[in-house]
Amino acid sequence: MTFTINNLSYSYKETEALKDISFSVQSGEFMTIVGPNGSGKSTLLKCLDRILKYKEGSIELDGEDLKRISLRKLSRKIAYVPQKDEIISSNTVFDVVMLGRKPYVEWNITNDDIEVVSNLLDRFDLTSLAMRDINTLSGGQKQRVLIARALAQQPEILLLDEPTSNLDLYHQSKIMEHLADLSNEGLIIIVAMHDINLALLFCTKAVMLSRGSLFAIGGKEIFTKENIDSLFKTTVKIVNQDNQTYILQQRILKYNS
């Protein structure tokens, strides 16, 4: 599958949040979207799932215009995982994940639906929490439920908005490893990331956004000191060790007197 974004722009009432964004991504690629707060990461993900109705530009799935695909069919192709602090109505973990089956359910939930949900609960260590209300879970647990719900849609493209923010190191790695497994299974993963080191560790492709515009696009090689310093208005140090690149923050010495 090829997911192509052509000259996409999006404006809220007063804010031009995305300006002329173009890129494409293929099955099996793990793409991260990085950029400062307010650079348009969440807006871009919402346009890609047609949660926001963009007017300028086009998005294509294997050459088919996203706007011509029915919402039911679209939700079998693309799933979106919101930031964990988005409000979710009270429901058991099992039912929340089952909601992801909606694009497939005709009249009644089938054994197949139950099997898909049970397997996902198992995969994300949620079986023992299945009957708990989602709003009583910890941040990391809730995040895993939201990812399981998205995967219950059995999508080909998974969009995630900062899935690791507020998670401890163990859960950060675990979620990112899960996403890497899914991309190896052929899914397209597109994930907005706050943590550029984690992004760099896992991505095969990256988009850098600056004030709604495409700042850079490419593989891991775009994580240069020049790009990071200019994008985040900071002064980083790049360290290469054991075939891995690390971006270290440095103190800005403002007062030279």
218 binds ligand ADP (CB under 6 A): no
Residue 153, contacted partner among Mg ion, ligand ADP, none, CB below 5-8 A by kind: none
* DSSP 8-class letter at 128: G
What whole-number distance in Å separates Cα of residue 222 and Cα of residue 170?
A: 27
What whole-number distance in Å separates Cα of residue 207 and Cα of residue 42?
A: 13
Residue 144, contacted partner among Mg ion, ligand ADP, none, CB below 5-8 A by kind: none
- For the chain, the residue count is 257
φ, ψ at 80 (rounded to 5°): -125, 130
Helix ranges, the chain (H): 41-48, 71-77, 93-99, 111-123, 139-152, 169-184, 196-202, 225-232
Residue 18 or 96: the one with the smaller Cβ distance to ligand ADP is 18
Residue 39, contacted partner among Mg ion, ligand ADP, none, CB below 5-8 A by kind: ligand ADP
Site size for ligand ADP, by CB under 6 A? 11
Residue 219, contacted partner among ligand ADP, Mg ion, none, CB below 5-8 A by kind: none
Residue 14 or 242: the one with the smaller Cβ distance to ligand ADP is 14
Residue 84 or 144: the one with the smaller Cβ distance to Mg ion is 84
| CA angle, 120 then 126 then 128, to 5° | 130
- The residues binding Mg ion (CB under 5 A) are 41-42
According to CB under 6 A, which residues from 28 to 87 bind ligand ADP? 35, 37-43
Q: Parallel, antiparallel, or unpaired for β 244-249 and 236-241?
A: antiparallel
Q: How far is the CB of 105 from ligand ADP (least distance, A)?
A: 31
What whole-number distance in Å separates Cα of residue 33 and Cα of residue 17?
A: 15
Q: How far is the CB of 164 from ligand ADP (least distance, A)?
A: 14
According to CB under 6 A, which residues from 9 to 28 bind ligand ADP? 12, 15, 17
Contacts of 169 (CB under 8 A, 6+ apart): none
- Give the bridge partners for 206, in sequence order: 32, 218
Residue nearest to Mg ion (CB): 42
Residues that bind ligand ADP (CB under 6 A): 12, 15, 17, 35, 37-43
